[in-house]
Amino acid sequence: MSVLDRSYFYNEKAAFRHLEGLLWGDGVICPKCGTVDRAGRLEGVKGKNGKERLGLWKCYECRKQFTVRVGTVFESAHIPLHKCLQAVHLMVSSKKGISAHQLHRTLEITYKSAWFLAHRIREAMRDGQLSPLGGNGKTIEIDETYIGRLEGVPKQRSGGAHKNIVMTLVERGGAARSFHIDSTTLNEVTKIVRENVNRESVVNTDEGRWYGQLGAHFMSHDAVNHSREEYVRYSAGDKITTNTVEGYYSIFKRGMKGV
């Protein structure tokens, strides 16, 4: 189905019906009292501005009125719901991210509204999971990169001493976690990895000396030697590489610089 066939992207009534179908698959839920399937749709009710209040329901138990927006990131947003759904689509389909200015221009809303909406959508995308990455039979790739410039530190001709250090843990086929670190010391790196990776995981890194003690804490630790132009190695049928986390950084940096 093309975007042109998705009427909820440009029709407000269709947008409400679409969101209702996503959230109320097992029956209309009253956000006030929690009653299921004891509400009726109200048609033709007008607000103070004289316009029809679309998507309005009334609960037969608590007698309160509500819409499907209540309890979502779209609640109290003075932006048409169909434009909110467009914003969600643009944000999740833009591989390198999308700026609030781009949303402002594309959706034809104010920059302030676009900034507000983008932050709400990002908050809704947070999974809140703090459990360790990886596990038995899973591989975690770890690498660090240098980006931006530290405040008050003069730019240097070579090296990354004047830049921010970001370390990232990527579970192959799974999630990623990034950390802004002060330095790549053995203790700091080991502490972060131990706190965020399951002990039964296999760990892949490059030849950085700050990864030297990881083998003592996990199922195994293998490294590729980039200084010798080694990027992929196979050992006992296992693929040893950091290409996944490096691909993550390529997208991360283009998003940071472009957005």
For residue 180, which of 133, 130, 146 has the smallest C-alpha distance?
A: 146
Domain boundaries, given as residue ranges, for the chain: 139-258
pTM, entire model: 0.75
Return the pLDDT at 48: 83
Per-residue pLDDT reduced to its tens digit, 183-224: 999 999 999 999 999 999 999 999 999 999 999 999 999 999
Return the pLDDT at 154: 82
Return the pLDDT at 51: 86
Q: What is the CATH number of domain 139-258?
A: 3.30.420
Spatial separation of the C-alpha atoms in residues 214 and 207, rounded to whole Å: 12
Output the furthest CA–CA distance in the chain (Å, rounded): 72
Per-residue pLDDT reduced to its tens digit, 72-116: 999 988 999 999 999 999 999 998 889 999 999 999 999 999 999
Return the pLDDT at 83: 97
Spatial separation of the C-alpha atoms in residues 218 and 94, rounded to whole Å: 35
Share of the chain above pLDDT 70, in %: 98
- The size of the chain, in residues, is 259
